[in-house]
Amino acid sequence: MRILVVEDESKMADYLRKALTESGYAVEIALDGLDGQHLAQESEFDLIILDVMLPGLDGWQLLQIIRRKWQTPVLFLTARDSVDDRVKGLELGADDYLVKPFSYAELLARVRTLLRRGPPREVEHFVAGDLSLDLLRRRVTRNGERLTLTNKEFSLLHLLLSREGEVLSRSLIASQIWQMNFDSDTNVVDVAIRRLRAKVDDPYSLKLIHTVRGIGYMLEVQS
Amino acid sequence: MFALVSTPLLGSIGFYLYQSLQREIAWRDDQALLGRLERMQALISDSDSIEQLRSRPKLYENMLGNRENLLWIVDDTGKVLIEINPVGMTLPKLPTAPHARLVDAHSAASVRLAWQDVMQGDRGLTLIAGKLLSERDQMLAAYRLKLWVAMSVGALLAFVLGWWVSRRGLRPVRMLAKRAAGIDVQHLHLRLDEFNDLNELQVLSKALNQMLARLEDGFTQLSRFSEDLAHEMRTPLSNLMGHTQQNLRYSRSIEDYQNLLVSNQEEYERLARMIDSMLFLARTEHSHASVNYESISLHDLVEQLCEYFEGVAQERDVKLINQADGELWADPVLIRRALANLLSNALRYGAPAAEVVINSLAAEDRIEVSVHNQGQPISVEHLPRLFERFYRCDPSRNQPDDSGGLGLAIVRSIMQLHGGQVTVDSSQLGTNFRLVFPIRNA
């Protein structure tokens, strides 16, 4: 998967290149709008990450040029999160936006979503190690034993399983499970994870739910 | 300005007076001429013949009295029987007139003539009386001149007096302007003088002073806020710099570096949250911030929040009790945020192993939602300032999960956006925050 990053701030560009390369993507960097236009026209990319404020040719203009010929997904980055800016980007044909400062987990989640072509598969049955979750029957078993979870614990486990191997930030979890779309600074998510672990992980030797320090939580089978 | 207005006014008054005087004089002259004709007619019918009249010239000369007056008696053959004509004017041709008629004639001098045809026995006579207009013209010219002089002097006086009066009258305004010019950002505490004797200015200066007081308040708040902001950002920044520099001084184990990065990350998140909250406040304080009103079921909304805080509450052995019900017309996203801030505070400062009660009350003109906790009462002196940004009851307290002192400020902004308010009271029984929503009459 090839990603073009058009970003004039070199530290941000460097960070994006490292983060995306580590996650297994091939990354090309353009440090201004004209370079970006040149690169975009020269070769094919699976995703373009576009900063709005660029010297030479700004993000909006570049987006318009790209949209004239290609349907490559575009994720734009902006430090101004006014509603007008977001609407403008989406109207010009951007597929998604991220407001700076954004978290690492958030970036990777958006990139994955945009690269996953088509709607996400509706999975009804999840398995990770000896843990299985049946969405329709709302049953969770571990090592063959039935676990009793509350509604929110079930939703949380479902979220972690559906994004297996992906680090989920606290704010993403809060917004997905409780529709708390603002940064609530209580440790609600930590408590919820702790309680889920008490039921899902604590009695077993193989731990599935992992804390990624400074980033968030992840469910993964690690040997 | 005053002179500009008064000059045309004086001019038109003068013109009107002149016109009416002229008309009046002309009318009186005409009446005199006609009267003279009548008297001549009477004289003729008294006297037996014109000859008799001609032999008594003194009679009518005296009657006429001066050089201004003219008189002719002409018979129907055109022969002039009597002529008094000191200016030697030729007799004008006149149409026959059984009744007295008047005309302006211009020959050597302008003259006003009145004439009438009368019968004396079998003889037709034409009586003509005239008056030279030179005297009248002279008089009117003198009058015109006087009028011009009076008007010029009047205009000049109007100008000077107007200037003086307006200057004198506007002196308080100039003082006000001078005073106002002296007020700038450094001198916002200054106030304008109150003019107690001038009613209009008193109202104006009072209104301006009130405006200044509001500006000063706003400005003080803004500058204190900027100071607080700088201070609030300094603390996490100095943590970041200190820790990072201390770690860079010597080589450390990988674990130390990881710990440093995690600690840094926490500070970054704190800063990011603070900036988010600041932006949120900045936007909600613009009155044009959008509020998406919806009908909200209070019980469901509070239930959702209780679920969210359930885990934290249970860890502190606090019971969340949802007694809210009814419908509320408000922005669900904003209200959820306001209530979440109140609940988070209630849990943080409430006594452990106690209750937090969320209640609602529907009155005729308002809906109240209250969050009550049982904890240490907040001292009275803190209550009014609780909703200010960055205000902390205990300046040294800076708990790790602190909202950065903006939580209640956000609640207040959200309530202001809804046209409502947030109030607090605190006693030994606990602390009660109340969100008051006015009911709009649809």
Tell me the CATH number at B314: 3.30.565.10
What's the pLDDT band for B57 if we cut at 50, 70, 90? low
Q: What is the pLDDT of residue B400?
A: 45
Whether residues B9 and B140 share a domain: the answer is yes
Q: Which residues 382-421 of B are in CB contact (within 8 Å) with A?
A: 401-404
Whether residues B384 and B258 share a domain: the answer is no
Who among A182, A185, A188 is closest to B309 (CB)? A188
Q: Per the domain annotation, does B75 fall within a domain?
A: yes
d(CA B121, CA A202): 157
Which residues of chain A lie closer than 8 angstroms to B261, CB-CB?
Answer: 214
Q: Per the domain annotation, does B170 fall within a domain?
A: no
Q: Which residue of B has its CA nearest to A102?
A: B272
Q: Amino acid identity, residue A100?
A: K
Show which of B285, B307, B337 is a domain's final residue: B285
Highest average pLDDT, of A75-79, B7-11, B122-126, comes from A75-79
Show which of A93, A115, A137 is a domain's final residue: A115
* Residue that the structure tokens 């308080």 belong to: B172
Which of B347, B264, B336, B350 minimizes the C-alpha distance to B312?
Answer: B347
Q: Which residues 311-330 of B are in CB contact (within 8 Å) with A?
A: 311-312, 315
Who among A191, A213, A214 is closest to B311 (CB)? A191
Q: What is the pLDDT of residue B395?
A: 60
Q: Which residue of B has its CA nearest to A170?
A: B269
What's the pLDDT band for B224 if we cut at 50, 70, 90? confident
Contact criterion met (CB below 8 Å) for B323 and B358: yes
C-alpha A184, offset from chain centre: 19
Which of B119, B25, B39, B108 minimizes the C-alpha distance to B71?
Answer: B39
If you write DSSP's letter for every residue of A70-104 in order, what string do you get? ----EEEEES---HHHHHHHHHTT-SEEEESS--H
Which residues of chain A lie closer than 8 angstroms to B290, CB-CB?
Answer: 83
Show which of B103, B121, B146 is a domain's final residue: B146
Residue from A170, A184, A193 whose CB has the most chain B CBs within 10 Å, to mutate: A184
Q: Per the domain annotation, does A120 fall within a domain?
A: no
β-strand partners of B123: B120
Whether residues A156 and A90 share a domain: the answer is no
Task: Give percent of chain B with pLDDT exceeding 90.
Answer: 16
Cα end-to-end span (Å), chain A: 28
For A121-137, what is each residue's pLDDT tens digit?
677 889 999 999 998 89
Mean pLDDT of chain B: 82
What strands lie across the sheet with B123-132, from one edge to the other? B80-84, B69-75, B123-132, B110-120, B101-106
In chain B, the number of structural domains is: 3
Whether residues A41 and A134 share a domain: the answer is no
How many angstroms away from the CA of B277 is the closest CA of chain A? 9
Q: Per the domain annotation, does A82 fall within a domain?
A: yes
Question: What CATH number should be reported for the domain holding residue B108?
Answer: 3.30.450
Domain that holds residue A133: 125-219
How many angstroms away from the CA of A109 is the closest CA of chain B? 19
* Residue that the structure tokens 């998604």 belong to: A96
pTM of the model: 0.63
Residue from B255, B257, B261, B269 whose CB has the most chain A CBs within 10 Å, to mutate: B269
d(CA B263, CA B273): 16
Q: Quick check: B268 and A101 CB within 8 A?
A: yes
**DSSP label of B375:** B
Q: Amino acid identity, residue B327?
A: E
Mean pLDDT of chain A: 88
Task: Give percent of chain A with pLDDT exceeding 70.
Answer: 96
Whether residues A84 and A153 share a domain: the answer is no
Show which of A82, A115, A148 is a domain's final residue: A115
Handedness of CA A150, A155, A160, A161 (dihedral sign): positive
Which of B305, B415, B430 minimizes the C-alpha distance to B367?
Answer: B415
Q: What is the pLDDT of residue B56?
A: 67
* pLDDT above 60: residue A21: yes
Who among A179, A183, A188 is closest to B273 (CB)? A183
Nearest 5 degrees, angle CA B54-CA B57-CA B58?
Answer: 160
Report the run of H or E that residue B216 belongs to, with start and end.
helix B199-249
Which residues of chain A lie closer than 8 angstroms to B402, CB-CB?
Answer: 185
* pLDDT above 80: residue A162: yes
Task: Give percent of chain A with pLDDT exceeding 90.
Answer: 41
Who among A180, A187, A214 is closest to B261 (CB)? A214
Whether residues B308 and B432 share a domain: the answer is yes
d(CA B100, CA B114): 7
Supply B236's token pair: 């996490």
Show which of B258, B285, B312 is a domain's final residue: B285
Q: Which residue of B has its CA nearest to A213?
A: B262
d(CA A54, CA A30): 10
C-alpha B229, offset from chain centre: 39
* pLDDT above 80: residue B32: yes
Q: Quick check: A192 and B336 CB within 8 A?
A: no
Q: Per the domain annotation, does B159 fall within a domain?
A: no
Who among B279, B311, B403 is closest to A195 (CB)? B311
For A211-223, what is each residue's pLDDT tens digit?
998 889 999 998 7
Instruction: Tell me how far CA of residue A183 lies from CA of A150, A173, B297, in angstroms.
Output: 24, 11, 23
Q: Per the domain annotation, does A43 fall within a domain?
A: yes
For B175-213, what is each residue's pLDDT tens digit?
888 888 888 878 878 887 766 666 777 888 888 888 888
Contact criterion met (CB below 8 Å) for B181 and B168: no
User: Residue A63, by phi and psi: left (phi above 0), alpha (psi -120 to 50) or beta?
Assistant: alpha
Q: Quick check: B333 and A181 CB within 8 A?
A: yes
Whether residues A8 and A96 share a domain: the answer is yes
Domain that holds residue B395: 294-438
Whether residues A110 and A150 share a domain: the answer is no
If you write DSSP's letter for every residue of chain A in order, what string do you get? -EEEEE-S-HHHHHHHHHHHHHTT-EEEEESSHHHHHHHHHHS--SEEEEESS-SSS-HHHHHHHHHHH----EEEEES---HHHHHHHHHTT-SEEEESS--HHHHHHHHHHHHS-SSPP---EEEETTEEEETTTTEEEETTEEE---HHHHHHHHHHHHTTT--EEHHHHHHHHH---S---SSHHHHHHHHHHHHHTTTSSS--EEEETTTEEEE----
Whether B380 and chain A come into contact, CB under 8 Å, resolves to no
Contact criterion met (CB below 8 Å) for A96 and A75: yes
In chain A, the number of structural domains is: 2
Task: Give percent of chain B with pLDDT exceeding 70.
Answer: 87
Q: Per the domain annotation, does B161 fall within a domain?
A: no
Contact criterion met (CB below 8 Å) for B12 and B35: no
For B400-441, what is each residue's pLDDT tens digit?
445 667 889 899 989 988 889 999 998 888 899 999 999 875
With an 8 Å Cβ cutoff, the interface of chain A facing chain B consists of 81, 83, 101, 152, 174, 178-188, 191-192, 194-195, 213-215
d(CA B388, CA B6): 60
Written in H, E and C, the secondary structure of B287-347 is: CCCCCCCEEEEHHHHHHHHHHHHHHHHHHCCCEEEEECCCEEEECHHHHHHHHHHHHHHHH
Which residues of chain A lie closer than 8 angstroms to B272, CB-CB?
Answer: 101, 183
Q: Per the domain annotation, does A81 fall within a domain?
A: yes
Q: Which residue of A has its CA nearest to B336?
A: A180
How many angstroms away from the CA of A112 is the closest CA of chain B? 23
Whether residues A134 and A106 share a domain: the answer is no
How many angstroms away from the CA of B255 is the closest CA of chain A? 12
Q: Which residue of B has its CA nearest to A195?
A: B311
Whether residues B311 and B247 share a domain: the answer is no
- What's the rounded mean pLDDT across residues B60-79? 71
Contact criterion met (CB below 8 Å) for B57 and B71: no
β-strand partners of A51: A77
* Residue that the structure tokens 């003539």 belong to: B113
Interface A-B: count of C-beta contacts within 8 A: 57
Q: Quick check: A214 and B262 CB within 8 A?
A: yes
Q: What is the pLDDT of residue B442?
A: 47
Question: What CATH number should be reported for the domain holding residue A93?
Answer: 3.40.50.2300
Whether residues B89 and B6 share a domain: the answer is yes
Q: Quick check: B265 and A214 CB within 8 A?
A: yes
How many angstroms away from the CA of A195 is the closest CA of chain B? 8
Contact criterion met (CB below 8 Å) for A135 and A158: yes
* pLDDT above 80: residue A78: yes
Which residues of chain B lie closer than 8 angstroms to A194, CB-CB?
Answer: 311
d(CA A193, CA A36): 42
Question: What CATH number should be reported for the domain holding residue B212?
Answer: 1.10.287.130
Who among A178, A180, A187 is closest to B312 (CB)? A187
Whether residues A107 and A144 share a domain: the answer is no
How many angstroms away from the CA of B288 is the closest CA of chain A? 13
Whether residues A19 and A100 share a domain: the answer is yes
Report the run of H or E that residue B368 belongs to, with start and end.
strand B366-373
Whether residues B403 and B371 share a domain: the answer is yes
Q: Quick check: A101 and B272 CB within 8 A?
A: yes
Q: Per the domain annotation, does A214 fall within a domain?
A: yes
For A37-73, what is each residue's pLDDT tens digit?
999 888 889 999 999 888 888 888 888 888 888 888 9
Cα end-to-end span (Å), chain B: 53
For B93-151, what is each residue's pLDDT tens digit?
777 777 777 877 776 667 888 888 877 767 777 888 888 887 788 888 888 898 889 88
- Give Rg (Cα) of chain A: 20
How many angstroms away from the CA of A72 is the closest CA of chain B? 31
